[in-house]
Structure 1
Amino acid sequence: MHRTPTHLHDVRLPRWLLPADWPLVHGLPALAQLEMAHGRITALTPAMPQPQQQQATPQAWQLHGALALPGFVDAHVHLDKTFTLPRIPHIVPGLLGAIEAMMADREGWTHEDVRQRADRALQWAWEAGSTRLRTHVDWWEADRVPVAWPVLGELAQDWRGRIRLERVSLMRLAFYEDAQQADALARRVAASGPDALLGGFVHTSHWNEAGLRQLLLAAQRHGLDVDLHVDEELEPSAHGLATIARLLGEIGFEGRVVCGHVCALAAQDEATALRTLDAVARAPITLVSLPATNLLLQDAVTGRTPRQRGLTLVKEARERGIPLLLASDNVQDPFCRLGSYDPVDALATGALVGQLPEPFDTWSESLCRADWLERAPAATQAPSLIGAPADLVLLCDADAHGFPSRAARRVVLREGALAHGTPPPAWRGPQA
């Protein structure tokens, strides 16, 4: 079978990725034909009906209705912490217990230790079909660059052309309270390269509005986008997200701010939560939900079944046109003992917990929209496949009704070439 197909016949694409006038068959999007050349998608047309249906050849794959998605973006991970779980003997349930365990383990981190663990994670992400990862990096001393920061910068270079790796400086808001220090931190992050972002931890236990304001002002001065951990708790009084939306308007912030977690929305009364989301819809904010980690950390008490879910208000955010992504977050560390750097797993968890309808046709968008991390995303405008890189994830066994079930076996194309996986025999032509 040719490793660089020129045509994909009878492929099932999600509704959100297709033109508005795409034909329907029994209420569902008709199958598609994709043409590819020079690493890009050159044509997208409805599949021809029988008996004109194209047959597979070595350079034309017949997918028989197999699902396809663009390459994934895993918008919130922690490569510095990943795969540390086996060496941590005891973890107190909950977010603060995980932080305590992690701080003890990080005392033994070395350049080689971080590099080995993070490189393994990137390999898993590559095999899953991700084209872009954004990792937060714990930055515990204001005057000292953490060991993981330059290591992940090196890995970003090593993986360039396969995965775009971005780094976020995860700091306490108190580090930014002094305007001069905030400026120095922003300058240092900006000097790290174009894929570095300013970040912070916004939580009631460390609330500091002055620090939050100075963080945003420093980012504005240095042309940095911002990525924050926000309201990762089920405290109804948490108002980090609402404050960020207000400050962005007051500052006239020109970049993009990504707010991860925002679990507290699910614990607030309906009017308060929806009022906050209305403000977010008017601001340059993208939300990222982390279903697996939030389920494990929120309402966590030893020996007690949790009563509350950690998922934020994903349906209400989507209804307001707010860019919303789902991501892996922590993988096999004190914050989450599970994980595989497969964004489809995040959607599978979110679909069950959030009772999400049409996971393939609607919610798979939350795994693929890398443009929602950019400064001016087109939140409501469907992206065009024509001219886009032929970075595709082909799901061998899944169907649109049961997705994301049976999504483990997949074929990954990068710039139109087979990068990972083995195409099923049914896709192969007679000369293969």
Structure 2
Amino acid sequence: MTDFWLTNGRAHGAVVDGFAEPADQDGFLRLDIRIEDGRIAALAPLGSAAEGQDLRGGIVFPGFVDAHTHIDKGHIWPRAPNVDGSFLGALTAVMADRTGRWTPEDMTARADFALRCALAHGTVAIRTHLDTYAEHAPVTWAMFSRLRDAWAERIALQASSIAPLDRFWGDEGTMIADTVAQYGGILGMVTRLTGGVHDAMPDEFQPMLDRFFDLAEARGLDMDLHVDESGETGARALREIALTAMRRGFKGRIQCGHCCALSMQSEDYAIETVKAVADAGIAIVVLPMCNMYLQDRVPHRTPRWRGVTLVHELAAAGVAVSFASDNTRDPFYAYGDLDMLEVLREATRILHLDHPVGAWPAAVSRVPAEVCGFDAGVLRVGAVADLVLTRARMATELQSRPWHDRVVLRAGKVLDATVPDYAELDSVTGFAG
């Protein structure tokens, strides 16, 4: 059956175009959805269809978009655990594991596993960061290129480089930028220096930042940056990035991730930074699960803050804010499954994205799709019928269960996919069972 109705559904107004019916107090619309030849043919008021698949008031999402992941380092936890759960512990464990172990075969096996998880959960597009250093950048990006081609009909993939800012100061920076351009990627970096953490900015920060902008501008590359991932008030790169983008008139897109330290700054400085980010047109992607896992972790002491940035203030200023998975079962985050419904649920609890719900459901679909340039994340006539169907009928039902029985439609057909068994990776991770 290629032509049919989905009747008696709910969808949040923030992810629906071309439908003007009244919404309930949480922003959800009641509607019938017509599917023809794998695309949405109509969004009609509830009761328009005489027959069809009754969703019983269940919430419908467009396919999810995950704008910040790390599939090259995912699932190494069994062989490279973070012994103390700290940011420095994560760096140390990843650096040790990467050396000599991240072969094309190893990275492909782990990344493919992660993508199969994302597919089963209803994700249609992903941006991943790839550790990009001189010694293995060509191998990593060639691996990603093959993976992107292999997955083209299932999940749209983008990649951004990630390396400390000082790596771009010199010939290595030129090589990284050229590699990213060669493979059609996004130029990314992390606003700390090699071997360090996100704390006070060095004296040479601004010249290094301008050098990074030079590399991007010369090649017409967009940017995706890991910024101020700590609770240190000296970590103030976000404001400088925004001011630099405006001073230079940067024409590309910029997305900044984490920005945790912003919530620890003085009120005046935070307000000034938020305004600069909005004025510069910078998008912010927040990684609530990983941020809470790593930040304010001190042995035998209860954490005092949630590790996340000022999402409400940023959104109120007109900044495009989205949420993403970040790391999965690696030293930076011991958990996760590239499940964007889990990300939305946890973000809601951690960041109080409720009472009212507002437009936050768009932060795992429409907003990241628009920021990254994916043709996805919105319910509208003519769009491919990539949908996630749940039995949740209201926000509290949606947020109270993981909805493992969700139904994923791809081009109007029920996706026959389940999450893979972790045992598949035993030969890669060395886990003996």
TM-score bracket relative to the smaller structure: 0.7 to 0.9
Which residue among 396, 399, 402 is the counterpart of 2:397? Answer: 402
**Which string of whole-angstrom CA distances, capped at 9 and with x for unpartnered residues, describes residues 204-231 of structure 1?**
4574222221112211221111111000
**Which string of whole-angstrom CA distances, capped at 9 and with x for unpartnered residues, describes residues 283-321 of structure 1?**
131100001111011011122211121111111111112
The Cα shift of 1:358 comes to 5.3
Measure, in 1, the Cα distance between the counterparts of 2:106 and 2:25: 54
Aligned ranges 1:322-333 → 2 under 5 Å: 322-333=319-330
What does residue 161 of structure 2 align with? 169
What does residue 116 of structure 1 align with? 109
**Which string of whole-angstrom CA distances, capped at 9 and with x for unpartnered residues, describes residues 314-347 of structure 1?**
1111111211110110111111111011012112
Residue type of the alignment partner of 1:92: D
Measure, in 2, the Cα distance between the counterparts of 1:46 and 1:217: 51
Is this contact kept in 1: 2:132–2:140, CA < 8 A?
A: no
The unaligned stretches of length 5 or more in structure 1 are 423-432
Which residue among 165, 168, 183 is the counterpart of 1:192? Answer: 183
Shift in alpha-carbon separation, 1:218–1:168, aligned structure 2, 3 A: same
The Cα shift of 1:89 comes to 5.0
**Which string of whole-angstrom CA distances, capped at 9 and with x for unpartnered residues, describes residues 343-382 of structure 1?**
12112111111111158662111000243324799xxxx9
Is this contact kept in 2: 1:398–1:405, CA < 8 A?
A: no
The Cα shift of 1:93 comes to 2.7
For the residue of structure 2 that corresponds to 1:42, the secondary structure is strand
Which residue among 167, 191, 199 is the counterpart of 1:202? Answer: 191
What does residue 238 of structure 1 align with? 235
Is this contact kept in 2: 1:289–1:312, CA < 8 A?
A: yes
Which residue among 43, 61, 86 is the counterpart of 1:94? Answer: 86
Is this contact kept in 2: 1:10–1:47, CA < 8 A?
A: yes
For the residue of structure 2 that corresponds to 1:31, the secondary structure is strand
Normalised TM-score (structure 2): 0.87
Normalised TM-score (structure 1): 0.87
Is this contact kept in 1: 2:257–2:287, CA < 8 A?
A: yes
Residue type of the alignment partner of 1:77: T
Q: Is 2:342 the counterpart of 1:345?
A: yes
Measure, in 1, the Cα distance between the counterparts of 2:352 and 2:26: 22
Aligned ranges 1:168-317 → 2 under 5 Å: 168-178=160-170, 182-193=173-184, 196-203=185-192, 204-205=198-199, 207=202, 208-317=205-314
The Cα shift of 1:92 comes to 2.8
For the residue of structure 2 that corresponds to 1:112, the secondary structure is helix
Shift in alpha-carbon separation, 1:30–1:229, aligned structure 2, 3 A: closer
Measure, in 2, the Cα distance between the counterparts of 1:405 and 1:361: 18
For the residue of structure 1 that corresponds to 2:65, the secondary structure is strand
Between stretches 156-165 and 215-224, larger displacement belongs to 215-224
Measure, in 2, the Cα distance between the counterparts of 1:185 and 1:148: 11
Instruction: State the percentage of identical aligned residues.
Output: 37
The Cα shift of 1:383 comes to 5.6
Is this contact kept in 2: 1:219–1:226, CA < 8 A?
A: yes
Shift in alpha-carbon separation, 1:421–1:45, aligned structure 2, 3 A: farther
The Cα shift of 1:250 comes to 1.2
Q: Alpha carbon RMSD of aligned pairs, Å?
A: 2.4
Shift in alpha-carbon separation, 1:132–1:26, aligned structure 2, 3 A: closer
What does residue 425 of structure 1 align with? none
Is this contact kept in 2: 1:236–1:268, CA < 8 A?
A: yes
Measure, in 2, the Cα distance between the counterparts of 1:90 and 1:401: 34
Measure, in 2, the Cα distance between the counterparts of 1:197 and 1:400: 35
The Cα shift of 1:29 comes to 4.2
Which residue among 47, 60, 73 is the counterpart of 1:68? Answer: 60
Measure, in 2, the Cα distance between the counterparts of 1:92 and 1:316: 32
Is this contact kept in 1: 2:255–2:285, CA < 8 A?
A: yes
Residue type of the alignment partner of 2:398: F
Residue type of the alignment partner of 1:169: S
Residue type of the alignment partner of 1:393: V
What does residue 37 of structure 1 align with? 36
The Cα shift of 1:119 comes to 0.3
Between stretches 259-268 and 145-154, larger displacement belongs to 145-154
The Cα shift of 1:409 comes to 1.9
Residue type of the alignment partner of 2:409: L
Measure, in 1, the Cα distance between the counterparts of 2:407 and 2:355: 22
Shift in alpha-carbon separation, 1:27–1:392, aligned structure 2, 3 A: closer
For the residue of structure 2 that corresponds to 1:402, the secondary structure is helix
Residue type of the alignment partner of 1:336: Y
Measure, in 2, the Cα distance between the counterparts of 1:274 and 1:358: 24
Aligned ranges 1:6-21 → 2 under 5 Å: 6-18=4-16, 21=20
Count residues with an aligned counterpart: 405
